[in-house]
Amino acid sequence: MEHTGAFIRMVMLLVFIGWLFMWIMLPTKTYKYTWSLSLSKHLNSTYFREQGTNLVLFSFPIMFLASLGCLYLHFQAKNAPKRNFTRRRWLDFWKRPLIVMNPLGIVSTMAVVFSVLSVALLGCSLYNYLHVSFGHLMMHGVGEKVWQTRFRSVSLRLGYIGNITWAFLFFPVTRGSSLLRLVGLTSESSIKYHIWLGHISMVLFALHSVGFIIYWGITDQMELVLLLLLLMHYPFNSLISNYRIRF
C-alpha cells in the first residue's frame, strides 16, 4: 500500500511538471515553428479538429491528475495514524502564516511560493512571446511603422498571457477537488487566490483591449471599434460572413 501511494505521487509530480513545462514552452520559437506543426499533425482528430492539441496538452493532464488524486487520497486514508500525523505536520509548515497585512490578509508560505512561481511564469512567457514576435514582425496596414506594429504585438501578447491566468483561475474554487486536498487546502480557504487571479486576468485583458483601441486609433482604423460594438449586440455568425478581422 505504501509503495502504491509513493508511485502515484511520483507519477502525479511528473505529469504536473510536464504540464507546467508545456506552458513554459508555449511562447517559444521552438514550440511555434517545430513542435506545434508535429503536434497538430498527430493530435488533431476528426471530433476535436484543431482543438485536439490543446485538449491533449493542457486539459487532459489536469483531469488525469484529479483522477490519480482520488486514488492517492483513498490509499492515504488507509495508512497508519502515525503516517497521517507526520503528513499533517509537513503540510502545517507550508500553511503557516508568512505575511499578515492589508489588503492581502493572512498569506501562507505555500501561497507566497505559488505567487512567486506564477509571476515568474507570466514574466517569462511575456518575454518569450515578444522575443518571437519582434523577430517576425508583419505589417498589418499600408504605411504602418515598426513601432506601431510592435505596439500591436505587445497588446496582443498581453491577451495571450491572460490565458495563463485563466488556466489556473478555477483551481482554488473547485469544490471537492482532489488536487486541493493533496496540499491540505479547501475551496473555502482558497477563494482569495481565485480573486487575485481574477484581478490579474482582468488587468491583462483590459490592457489588451485598450492597447488595440489605441493601435486602431493611431493607424486610422477606428471603424473596427464600431464593428466590435456591433458584434457585442448582434449574432456573431451573421456578421462574420461580411467582415474578416485578424486579431
Task: Clarify whether residues 65 and 113 are in a common domain.
Answer: no
Sequential pLDDT tens for the chain (247 residues): 567 777 888 888 899 899 999 999 999 989 988 888 888 877 776 777 777 788 888 889 998 988 888 888 877 776 655 455 445 555 566 667 766 666 666 777 777 888 888 899 999 999 999 998 888 887 777 778 888 899 999 999 999 999 999 988 888 888 778 888 777 677 777 788 888 899 999 999 999 999 998 988 888 877 777 777 777 666 544 444 444 444 4
The pLDDT of residue 90 is: 55
The pLDDT of residue 243 is: 46
Residue 198, in any domain of the structure: yes
- Reading the block at residue 25, the C-alpha cell is 514552452
Tell me the C-alpha distance between 171 and 97, whole Å.
21
Task: Clarify whether residues 1 and 121 are in a common domain.
Answer: no
The pLDDT of residue 165 is: 92
The pLDDT of residue 126 is: 93
Residue 216, in any domain of the structure: yes
Sign of CA dihedral 204, 206, 209, 213: negative
Coil, helix or strand for 155? helix
Task: Clarify whether residues 70 and 114 are in a common domain.
Answer: no
Residue 97, in any domain of the structure: no
Tell me the C-alpha distance between 4 and 71, whole Å.
10
Task: Clarify whether residues 130 and 192 are in a common domain.
Answer: yes
The pLDDT of residue 216 is: 86
Tell me the C-alpha distance between 141 and 149, whole Å.
9
The pLDDT of residue 2 is: 62
Residue 219, in any domain of the structure: yes
Task: Clarify whether residues 128 and 205 are in a common domain.
Answer: yes
The pLDDT of residue 75 is: 76
Task: Clarify whether residues 163 and 213 are in a common domain.
Answer: yes
Task: Clarify whether residues 64 and 137 are in a common domain.
Answer: no
Task: Clarify whether residues 206 and 152 are in a common domain.
Answer: yes
Residue 147, in any domain of the structure: yes
Residue 180, in any domain of the structure: yes
Task: Clarify whether residues 71 and 110 are in a common domain.
Answer: no
Task: Clarify whether residues 193 and 151 are in a common domain.
Answer: yes
Task: Give me the long-range contacts of 103-111 (CB less than 8 A, separation at least 24).
Answer: 105/192, 110/183, 110/185, 111/193
The pLDDT of residue 9 is: 82
- Reading the block at residue 186, the C-alpha cell is 479547501
The pLDDT of residue 50 is: 72
Task: Clarify whether residues 66 and 107 are in a common domain.
Answer: no
Number of separate domains in the chain: 2
Residue 86, in any domain of the structure: no
Task: Clarify whether residues 52 and 136 are in a common domain.
Answer: no
Backbone angles phi, psi at 49, to 5 degrees: 55, -130
Residue 227, in any domain of the structure: yes
Which residue segment(s) compose the domain that 208 sits in? Answer: 102-247
235 CA to centre of own chain: 28
